[in-house]
């Protein structure tokens, strides 16, 4: 028997979350609706951004949900995959850019007291 890493998202779990904290649950639902509504950015673009961010935050529920929403809003499979590649580049780019911290620490170690 296989054991899932993450439990399936079910109506029962959603109901339990609402029961345990109804006010924050309602507020989050309203916030989410406002964020993903048509605005300066079309809903499809917002869902593609969400797909990319979901891959960076590595939330399996968000990945599945926002991929489905992007498709519902007319995004193509190619657009979704490009959004995922943008996320991958940004994640890798962040690691590369932050190497400046390691390089600075190495320089400090090699030259204690600030001498270059």
Residue 104 pLDDT: 95
How much is the pTM?
0.83
The tens digit of pLDDT for each residue in 74-89 reads 999 999 999 999 999 9
Quick one: which of 60, 36, 51 has its CA closest to 86?
A: 51
State how far the alpha carbon of 26 is from the alpha carbons of 54, 99, 101, in Å: 22, 41, 41
Q: In the structure encoding, which two tokens stand for residue 90, read together?
A: 């940004």
pLDDT block averages, 10 residues each, the chain of length 116: 82 94 96 97 98 96 97 98 97 93 95 74
Q: What is the CATH number of domain 13-87?
A: 1.20.1290.10
Residues in the chain: 116
The domain limits of the chain are 13-87
């Amino acid at each position: 028997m296989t054991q899932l890493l993450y439990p399936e998202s079910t109506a029962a779990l959603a109901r339990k979350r609402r029961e345990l904290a109804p006010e924050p649950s309602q507020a989050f639902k309203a916030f989410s609706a406002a964020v993903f509504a048509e605005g300066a950015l079309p809903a499809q673009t917002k869902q593609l951004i969400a797909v990319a961010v979901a891959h960076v935050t590595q939330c399996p529920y968000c990945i599945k949900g926002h991929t489905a929403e992007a498709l519902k809003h007319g995004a193509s499979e190619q657009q979704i995959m490009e959004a995922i590649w943008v996320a991958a580049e940004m994640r890798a780019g962040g690691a590369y850019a932050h190497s400046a911290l390691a390089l600075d620490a190495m320089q400090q170690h090699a030259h204690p007291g600030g001498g270059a």
